[in-house]
């Protein structure tokens, strides 16, 4: 997609050399119509030399003529085949000077809340270098004590869609749990309500059927009759004669 070169200088030229409305010039150059009015009044862009969009192959005279005859018409930038895919970034993102002081805070936020992101992904998101990221990961950065984690989207260093795409890519490469798999997990309340099967400790396994008595004795006890209460006081195998013998 082609982009307008020197939009403010182009706006100055259009104000000086055409009868276009302020809104038409603002729509074409990307400024508010009040700013264009300020240019016409001499309050804005003082000392800026006009940039001819026709001579620089960005606009054709036919577009200007049509717009001058129709105040509602929006001029279109001349198509430039050489400008194809110029929006695609190559290398680290450029960070304005006014936001570079916030970049370490954004890196700290990404390292803390998205550790799955690689150094290369963080570098492309906020426009930094891998040694800087590594120093923040290892907390050896010279200003680490004064840094606070701040969302890079809130700082304007990247878009939310770019951050989401990077996180999704990192999660996929790491075989992390997907959102659908997380939904299938049982909550804590549900797991507490489930019936649990009693289990013996690992050091007691195999002893659940252990008994000190002889199985044959168990069979003999089944045949004995304890309907008489006095029989409980008689030891097995004892006789009345033994009880009567003097001791």
In a domain, 223, yes or no: no
In a domain, 2, yes or no: no
pTM above 0.75, yes or no: no
Do residues 54 and 115 share a domain? no
How confident is the model over 55-80, as pLDDT tens digits? 888 888 999 999 999 999 999 888 76
Do residues 76 and 102 share a domain? no
Residue 54 has pLDDT above 70, yes or no: yes
In a domain, 220, yes or no: no
Q: How far apart are CA 223 and CA 191, in angstroms?
A: 47
Q: How many CB atoms lie within 10 A of CB 167?
A: 18
How confident is the model over 163-197, as pLDDT tens digits? 888 988 888 876 655 556 656 655 555 555 655 55
Q: Residue 88, SS3?
A: coil
How confident is the model over 88-132, as pLDDT tens digits? 555 555 656 656 788 899 999 999 999 989 999 998 898 888 999
CA 21, chain centre distance (Å): 45
Cβ atoms of 125 and 93 within 8 Å: the answer is yes
In a domain, 179, yes or no: no
In a domain, 197, yes or no: no
Do residues 56 and 27 share a domain? yes
Q: What is the pLDDT of residue 11?
A: 92
How confident is the model over 134-154, as pLDDT tens digits? 999 999 999 999 999 998 888
* Closest-CA residue to 110 (of 80, 77, 79, 132): 132
In a domain, 64, yes or no: yes
Please give the tally of structural domains in the chain.
2
Do residues 120 and 57 share a domain? no
Tokens 């960070």 belong to 95
In a domain, 141, yes or no: yes
Q: Which of 125, 141, 173 lies at the terminal end of a domain, its last residue?
A: 173
Do residues 79 and 11 share a domain? yes
Q: Which of 173, 199, 233 lies at the terminal end of a domain, its last residue?
A: 173
Q: Which of 83, 116, 148 lies at the terminal end of a domain, its last residue?
A: 83
CB contact burial 32-70 (16+ within 10 A = b; e otherwise): eeebbbbbbeeebbeeeebbebeeeebbeeebbeebeee
Q: What is the pLDDT of residue 4?
A: 80
Do residues 104 and 159 share a domain? yes
Average per-residue pLDDT for the chain: 76
Range of the domain at 45: 7-83
């Amino acid at each position: 997609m082609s982009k307008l070169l020197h939009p403010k200088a182009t706006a100055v030229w259009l104000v000086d050399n055409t009868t276009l409305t302020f809104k038409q010039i603002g729509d074409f150059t990307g400024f508010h119509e009040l700013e264009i009015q300020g240019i016409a009044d001499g309050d804005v862009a003082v000392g800026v030399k006009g940039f001819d969009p026709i001579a620089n192959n960005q606009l054709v005279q036919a577009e200007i003529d049509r717009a001058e005859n129709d105040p509602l018409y929006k001029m279109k930038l001349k198509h430039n085949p050489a400008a194809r895919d110029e929006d695609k970034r190559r290398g680290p993102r450029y960070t304005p000077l006014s936001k570079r002081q916030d970049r370490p805070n954004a890196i700290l936020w990404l390292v803390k809340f998205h550790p799955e992101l690689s150094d290369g992904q963080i570098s492309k998101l906020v426009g930094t270098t891998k040694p800087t990221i590594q120093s923040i990961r290892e907390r050896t950065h010279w200003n680490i004590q004064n840094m606070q984690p701040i969302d890079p989207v809130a700082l304007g260093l990247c878009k939310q869609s770019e951050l989401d795409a990077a996180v999704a890519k990192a999660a996929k490469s790491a075989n992390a749990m997907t959102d659908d798999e997380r939904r299938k997990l049982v909550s804590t309340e549900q797991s507490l309500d489930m019936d649990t099967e009693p289990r013996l400790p690992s050091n007691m396994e195999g002893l659940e059927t252990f008994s000190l008595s002889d199985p044959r004795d168990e069979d003999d006890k089944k045949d004995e009759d304890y309907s008489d209460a006095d029989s409980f006081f008689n030891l097995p195998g004892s006789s009345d004669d033994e009880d009567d013998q003097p001791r």
